[in-house]
């Protein structure tokens, strides 16, 4: 009897550690293995939440492509914390607030959007789907929202512009400031001619951080390439000019009439300096945990950035990306002062699981979940979302009141 129960316990232990290992794999990336959890097998997969996309999207990709998109720097602390930090914030709904005049449209840099959620720039989307960025445009084209095209896209700027022509989708172009400014200007001019409406310059990547898993998988090769910048510019390891300062934002501003959004800001002082240098808006971002590992989660960095920007110009807008996976995350970011949020990897998981239709479904889920959250919290539209529905309270975070 004793032997039987020992064997049984051993069996349970082995079985459970199998499950735990499977679970762990999502956090620690199985660099060498293809891995499909039971619930992500084609016959079982049910995509009801963006978390489902987050879980099953990677399993739908070949391992090198999966590692590329799932990759984060160092110990992946920031990658995880971007999501965990949202869970640490609680919403305290206000009831009986007459939310019957429900609407979730908003405006971003003066342009109306159907809902305050857009797509962050993610490179090399043809790794996730043969149609890559064109499938993303198609998936989002019935929404009045914003897609930011990566500087390292695998589709020509002109083709993306053409695909979005006549649709509701608005395109912004992400651009790095290269040592050779002619490379930057080439992208700027091509995007202007292709109907893009703003530039997003990413400032958190003077060099590309080391992504451990990509390095471990020694035969790492990708079946897509960067097509808008010469491979020799990209291939030397340094993404941008190491000598960049805020004056370079002023330079970019002087080269175009379109608004400049500075992406990759995590503190109030930098936000203020970027605005003074000519930025029309700030995007709080840590590159989805792919650059500095161990830095602040974006939702935690947001309040001080918003406070600094508001102090300077109360109407100047702040956006956020990093770890947004549910309607409650969107709500929390808006309550902390973001005008709009953007998602990076969820778009890729949508592409991987269903091409353009997958992107459309993922965004629809997020939109509906946000709308539901807003109504239950007592707001009928984004402008009614107030930070006093969140705990911990903002003034504590800002150090204004010591509680
Ligand atoms: C695979 C991958 C490639 C990315 N490529 C770019 C890029 O080319 N330019 C850029 O500014 N940000 C890039 N990012 C960062 C995203 O724009 C965004 O900040 C991040 O993905 C947001 O976090 P999330 O994935 O948790 O939503 C990339 C992110 C990933 C995952």
Cα(208) to centroid(ligand 1), Å: 12
Measured from CB, residues less than 6 Å from any atom of ligand 1 are: 68-69, 82, 120-123, 150-152, 174, 202, 263, 285, 287-288, 290, 321-324, 343-345
Cα(131) to centroid(ligand 1), Å: 19
* Angstrom distance (rounded) from CA 301 to CA 188: 29
- 121 appears as a binding residue in the annotation: yes
- 350 appears as a binding residue in the annotation: no
Cα(121) to centroid(ligand 1), Å: 6
- 321 appears as a binding residue in the annotation: yes
Closest residue (by CA) to atom 3 of ligand 1? 122
Point out the residues of the chain with pLDDT beneath 50.
1, 3-27, 400-403
Beta strands in 101-184 (DSSP E): 106-108, 111-113, 117-119, 146-149, 170-175
* pLDDT at position 22: 32
Ligand 1 atom with minimal separation from the 79 CA: 26
Instruction: Encode 325-338: b = buried (16+ Cβ within 10 Å), e = exposed.
Output: bbbbbbbbbbbbbb
- 323 appears as a binding residue in the annotation: yes
Cα(310) to centroid(ligand 1), Å: 26
Closest C-alpha among 154, 147, 146, 199 to residue 177:
199
Ligand 1 atom with minimal separation from the 323 CA: 26
- 193 appears as a binding residue in the annotation: no
Question: pTM value?
Answer: 0.92
Other beta carbons less than 10 A from residue 339's beta carbon:
22
Question: What angle in degrees, to the nearest 10, is found between the helix axes of 327-335 and 298-312?
Answer: 30
* Angstrom distance (rounded) from CA 78 to CA 73: 8
Closest residue (by CA) to atom 14 of ligand 1? 122
Structure tokens at 219: 């035969």
Stated as kind and residue range, the H or E segment containing 265 is strand 260-265
* pLDDT at position 402: 37
Candidates 229, 260, 344: which one to mutate for ligand 1, based on the most atoms within 8 Å of Cβ?
344
Q: Is 237 left (phi over 0), alpha (psi -120 to 50) or beta?
A: left
Cα(167) to centroid(ligand 1), Å: 24
Ligand 1 atom with minimal separation from the 263 CA: 11
* pLDDT at position 33: 78
Cα(29) to centroid(ligand 1), Å: 17
Q: Is 109 left (phi over 0), alpha (psi -120 to 50) or beta?
A: left
Catalytic residue IDs? 287
Phi, psi of 379 (to 5 degrees): -120, 135
The sign one gets for the Cα dihedral 314, 323, 157, 221 is positive
Ligand 1 atom with minimal separation from the 286 CA: 19
- 287 appears as a binding residue in the annotation: yes
């Amino acid at each position: 009897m004793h032997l039987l129960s020992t064997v049984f316990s051993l069996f349970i232990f082995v079985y459970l550690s199998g499950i735990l290992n499977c679970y762990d794999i999502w956090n620690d990336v199985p660099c060498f293995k293809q891995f499909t959890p039971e619930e992500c097998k084609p016959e079982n997969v049910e995509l009801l939440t963006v978390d489902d996309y987050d879980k099953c999207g990677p399993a739908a990709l070949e391992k090198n492509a999966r590692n590329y998109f799932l990759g984060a720097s160092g110990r992946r602390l920031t990658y995880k914390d971007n999501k965990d930090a949202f869970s640490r914030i609680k919403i305290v709904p206000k009831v009986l607030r007459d939310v019957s005049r429900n609407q979730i449209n908003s405006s971003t840099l003066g342009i109306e959007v159907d809902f305050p959620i857009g797509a962050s720039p993610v490179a090399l989307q043809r790794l996730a789907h043969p149609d890559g960025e064109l499938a993303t445009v198609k998936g989002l084209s019935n929404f009045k929202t914003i897609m930011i095209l990566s500087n390292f896209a695998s589709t020509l700027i002109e083709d993306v512009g053409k695909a979005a022509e006549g649709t509701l989708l608005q395109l912004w172009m992400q651009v790095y400031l290269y040592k050779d400014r002619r490379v930057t200007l080439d992208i700027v001019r091509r995007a202007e001619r292709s109907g893009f409406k703003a530039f997003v310059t990413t400032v958190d990547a003077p060099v590309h951080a080391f992504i451990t898993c990509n390095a471990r998988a020694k035969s790492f090769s990708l079946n897509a390439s960067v097509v808008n910048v010469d491979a020799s510019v990209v291939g030397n390891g340094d993404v941008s000019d190491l000598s960049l300062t805020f004056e370079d934002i002023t330079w970019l501003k002087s080269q175009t009439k379109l608004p400049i959004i500075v992406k990759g800001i995590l503190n109030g002082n930098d936000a203020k300096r970027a605005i003074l240098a000519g930025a029309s808006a700030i995007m709080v971002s840590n590159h989805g945990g792919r650059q500095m590992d161990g830095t602040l989660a974006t939702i935690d960095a947001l309040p001080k950035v918003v406070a600094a920007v508001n102090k300077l110009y109360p109407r100047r807008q702040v956006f956020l990306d990093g770890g947004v996976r549910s309607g409650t995350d969107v709500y929390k970011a808006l309550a902390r002062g973001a005008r709009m949020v953007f998602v990076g990897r969820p778009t890729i998981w949508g592409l991987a699981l269903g091409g353009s239709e997958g992107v459309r479904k993922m965004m629809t889920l997020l939109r509906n979940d946000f709308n539901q959250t807003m109504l239950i919290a007592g707001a009928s539209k984004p402008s009614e979302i107030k930070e006093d529905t969140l705990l911990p309270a903002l003034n504590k975070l800002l150090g204004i009141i010591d509680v």
